[in-house]
Structures are given as C-alpha cells and as structure tokens.
Amino acid sequence: MCFCVKGIPNMAGIGGQYTGINNKNQKNKTTMKKLSIKEIHKFISEVLPCEIFDLYHNYKILSEADLQYHVARILNTYFSEKAEKGLYEIKLNHSLPGIKMHPDLSIWEDEKPLIVIELKEWKRPNQISANREFDRLIKAKEYFKSERYKVKRGYLIYTSWFKTGKTFIDKRRGVKYFFEIPILLNDRLIDWFIKEEIPRWKKGFNDRAKHAQKT
C-alpha cells in the first residue's frame, strides 16, 4: 500500500497541453548542488510509482497525456526541492541533439541530457510496444557516448491493469542502463480497497475517462 503523496495540489483540468518545465535562473552554476544518479534512480523507482498510483486512485490520471503531465510535474517538484534551481530541466517530447528522437520525457543536467524516459498507459502490457520503446532508449545510449552528452539512464515507466509475469528488459543489451518501472494498478487496488469495491472504482474511472475524451 502506498501513502506517498502529501499535499500535492489538485490540478485544474485533465489532459491539458503541456510543453515542459524549467526551473532555471541566473544563479552561478559553480554553487549548485548536483544529485547523484543513485539518488535520482531511488526516487524514480520507489517514490514516483506510489505517487502515480495515488493520482490514479483519485481519478487525476485518465489518459497517457495525464500520465505524462503528472510525471513531469512530480519530477520538477523533486528537483526543485532537492537541488539548486537552474541545474535541472524537465523536457517533454524534446528532440535530443544530433539524433532523430523525441522521448516522452527527458531530464537535463547543466543543459545536457542525463535521463530519457518513455511512458506508456496500457490495459495489458504490450511486448511489441515495449520492444519499440526499449530500442529507442538503447539508441539514445549508444549515440551519446561522448563525455559531453552521456545519457546515464533510460526508463520505461508504464501503468497497466494486469501483469504479465515477466519483464520486457533485454538485460544483455541494457544492463546497468535500462530500467523497467511497472505500476500495476490492479495489484495496488487490491491493497487499497476491499475486493468488492474495486469494480465500483473501475466504473468510476471508465466513466470519467470517457467523459474526458468527449470534452
């Protein structure tokens, strides 16, 4: 059971247009605190999934666009609180320099790409789609091998109602770089509700999602 979200503000509207978040200012970069890749990974792999589920539970995420928006918002809050302003930037669908790739989300450190993230919202995990996203992340890693543009992590973060019993990662190609972060809604709902209440919650979710598509 997750009790991660404390005081996250309600968002006005669902599925709105969003182009990115930037916490830059004119502060001298030599005084800025950098976060280790292990610190960032711990937040993405442990805290972020709980916060995302809490938003699903409260009907704040009804589509993949909502998922993208809220992941960017949560990450921006994290970097704003943990690091000096101006060092990290969250970009959505932003072209990586020198490569024809627009990841759903990228995290930039000191104006260089550090982490690339692909986001998916599925009813059931899709192996073909997962392979496609995995290939894109590996492509980014292989391209940015120079000291100047070294991408250190790639993540496939997906929500799904059901699990497959296996992971999508081909560790032979992505060891120590690629990470799969599943957020299995059905399992977490079982932790949250008594079993008889889950169908009522799912109906509420489906009704709201259909209404959002029409508006």
What is residue 4's predicted lDDT score, i.e. its pLDDT? 41
What is the arithmetic mean of pLDDT over 21-47? 72
Q: Which residue has the higher pLDDT, 213 or 156?
A: 156
Residue 26, Cβ neighbours under 10 Å: how many? 7
Quick one: pLDDT band at residue 73, thresholds 50, 70, 90? very high
Task: Give the integer Cα–Cα distance in Å for 119 and 121.
Answer: 7
| Pairing, β 153-160 against β 112-122 | parallel
What is the arithmetic mean of pLDDT over 182-208? 77
pTM score over 0.85: no
Q: Over 80: is that where the pLDDT of 191 sits?
A: no
What is residue 16's predicted lDDT score, i.e. its pLDDT? 38
Domain boundaries, the chain: 34-214
89 near 95, Cβ under 8 Å?
no
* Residue appearing with tokens 């704040």: 60
> The CATH number of 34-214 is which of 3.40.50, 2.60.40, 1.10.10, 3.40.1350?
3.40.1350
What is the arithmetic mean of pLDDT over 44-52? 94
Among the residues of 58-179, which ranges form H helices?
Answer: 64-82, 127-143, 171-174
End-to-end CA distance of the chain: 33
Distance of CA 117 to the CA centre of its chain: 6
121 near 63, Cβ under 8 Å?
yes
What is residue 192's predicted lDDT score, i.e. its pLDDT? 62
Question: pLDDT (tens digit, 9 = 90+) per residue, 114-150?
Answer: 898 989 888 777 777 777 777 777 777 766 665 566 7
